[in-house]
Structure 1
């Protein structure tokens, strides 16, 4: 029986973006012309929440931190 050796999966190192580039992306997103997915495709940005994280850091608009922090229906008194 032959022994199969598995090769380790190598990941590419994370890309570093300049602050000016991040601010440009946030400005385009807040301008409303393109959504986050389109901007990620246009500039080759990986990650599902990268642009949202940049918007929280450098943006002017308020962004929700989590969907679970939104107010729901008020509770009824017993």
Structure 2
């Protein structure tokens, strides 16, 4: 797949169209964000009837009668949508877990750097908390 420049879209093959991709295109068309031809141009979809076929197969609108009556999704469609959502959520979860692990390691490294700097420079960097006895005595002075 080659791009000539940013304004031209990549030609795709039928194998490139995942279920989630098709559902995204269908959702955008049904929400009125894109027309059939605009969706075809935006995503580089070959074939003039491809998007319409997806709308008829996966969409929730009655495109044959051109009315905006919602059609009930089949159990297979619902299952496929839920499976796609589960895969997406699992991918997001894995990404967040990796980011958390990286952040935790980063915090440990920063703590180690502060410890080393305090030892070598003999300068207290971290704010030391006051001993409880001193805190209590200051509170008593304010009350009295």
Q: Give TM class, smaller chain.
A: 0.5 to 0.7
2:33 aligned with 1:15: no
Which structure has greater strand proportion?
2
Structure 2: tracts of 5 or more residues without a match: 1-12, 66-144
Structure with the greater relative contact order (CA < 8 A, sep ≥ 6): 1 or 2? 1
What is the 5 A alignment of 1:27-42? Answer: 27-42=27-42
TM normalised by structure 2 equals: 0.35
Q: Deviations over 1:8-65 (max 9, x none)?
A: xxxxxx4221111000000000010210101111000010100000001110000118
Report the equivalent of 2:26: 26
Cα RMSD after superposing both structures: 1.8
The 3-state SS of whatever aligns with 1:20 is helix
In structure 2, how many angstroms separate the alpha carbons of the residues matched to 1:28 and 1:48? 17
- Count of matched residue positions in the alignment of Structure 1 and Structure 2: 53
> TM-score, with normalisation over the residues of structure 1?
0.62
- Which protein has the bigger helix share? 2
Q: Matches of 2:58 and 2:36 in 1, distance apart?
A: 15
Name the CA distance, whole Å, in 2 between partners of 1:33 and 1:15: 23
- Structure possessing the higher radius of gyration over alpha carbons: 2
- Distance in 1 of aligned mates of 2:37 and 2:30: 13
